[in-house]
Amino acid sequence: DAGVTQSPTHLIKTRGQQVTLRCSPKSGHDTVSWYQQALGQGPQFIFQYYEEEERQRGNFPDRFSGHQFPNYSSELNVNALLLGDSALYLCASSASTGQGEKLFFGSGTQLSVL
Amino acid sequence: GEDVEQSLFLSVREGDSSVINCTYTDSSSTYLYWYKQEPGAGLQLLTYIFSNMDMKQDQRLTVLLNKKDKHLSLRIADTQTGDSAIYFCAEISMNSGYSTLTFGKGTMLLVSP
C-alpha cells in the first residue's frame, strides 16, 4: 500500500515564476491538506481539499491555489514566486470517515526560489 | 488563536529515557499528536491521543496529557541513536475544524552513543 506520494522531490525556480506541486493521497483517503514548512519551523496549514473543493484555508495569500481531482489527487499552485516561498511543501491525506483524525504526510517537495 | 510551544533541543545518551514536552493553548483541542521528522524527510505519525485520555502507551512510547495545564509529553524509553530527529507536537481543535493541524516548532532530539 503506497503512502502519500509527492512530486517532484526538489524544485528550483526564480522569482516571479509559477510552480505546480503534486500529491497522491494514501489509498482509501479522500481528503488532502497542504502545509508549508520553512527552515527551522513547524509546518503551517495552507488549505485543505475535499470533494474537489477547498474546504478550509490558512493564512496564505491568493497566490497559493489548489485543485483536487476526482481520483482525490491534488495540486498546489503558487504564482508570482517570492524568495520567502522557499520551503518544504508537505501534503497530508486523511479519510473523511472512520479514523479521520489520522493524517499521514508525504516526504514533501523542497522548493527553492532564487 | 491556537498556539503550540515546545522546547527546541534535547540531548540524551543512548539507553536513557527521553521526555519531550509541549504546551498548547486551545482548550477545544480534540486530538494531540506527536510526529517525527528525520533530515530531508516528511513527517512520520508516531502516536496520538484523544483529549479525554490522560495516558497512552505504544511500545517504547508513552504519551501523557494534562488537560488542565494543557501540557503534553512524549517519553521514549531506551532511546536509540535512530531516534535522533525532530519531534513535533500538534493539535486538532474544533475551532480550526476539518482535521487541520497546528504544529509547534519542533524539538530536536540528539542521542549520543
Whether A40 and chain B come into contact, CB under 8 Å, resolves to: yes
> How many beta-carbon pairs below 8 A join chains A and B?
66
pLDDT per residue as tens digits for the range B51-107? 889 999 999 999 999 999 999 999 999 999 999 999 999 998 655 556 688 999 999
- Strand order across the A19-24 sheet: A5-7, A19-24, A74-78, A64-68
Whether B31 and chain A come into contact, CB under 8 Å, resolves to: yes
Report whether pLDDT(B41) > 90.
no
Averaged pLDDT for residues B39-61:
92
Averaged pLDDT for residues B16-21:
97
Residue B10 forms beta bridges with which residues? B109
Q: What is the structure's pLDDT at B3?
A: 87
- Compute the mean pLDDT over every residue in chain A, rounded to the nearest whole number: 93
pLDDT per residue as tens digits for the range A58-87? 999 999 999 999 999 999 999 999 999 999
Q: What is the structure's pLDDT at A96?
A: 79
Averaged pLDDT for residues A3-8:
96
pLDDT higher at A95 or B6: B6
Q: What is the structure's pLDDT at A113?
A: 97
Residue B61 near residue B73, CB atoms below 8 Å = no
How far is the C-alpha of A14 from the C-alpha of A111, rounded, in Å? Answer: 10
pLDDT per residue as tens digits for the range A25-42? 999 999 999 999 999 899
Among A45, A88, A103, pick the best mutation site for testing chain B contact (most B Cβ within 10 A).
A103
What string of H, E and C letters represents the secondary structure of chain B? CCCEEECCEEEEECCCCEEEEEEECCCCEEEEEEEEECCCCCEEEEEEEECCCCEEEECCEEEEEECCCCEEEEEECCCCHHHCEEEEEEEEECCCCCCCEEECCCEEEEEEC
CA nearest B8 in A: which residue?
Answer: A40
All cell numbers assigned to A39: 527552515
How far is the C-alpha of B30 from the C-alpha of B35, rounded, in Å? Answer: 16
Whether B87 and chain A come into contact, CB under 8 Å, resolves to: no
The minimal CB distance from A56 to the residues B41, B90, B98 is found for B98
The minimal CB distance from A43 to the residues B97, B99, B103 is found for B103
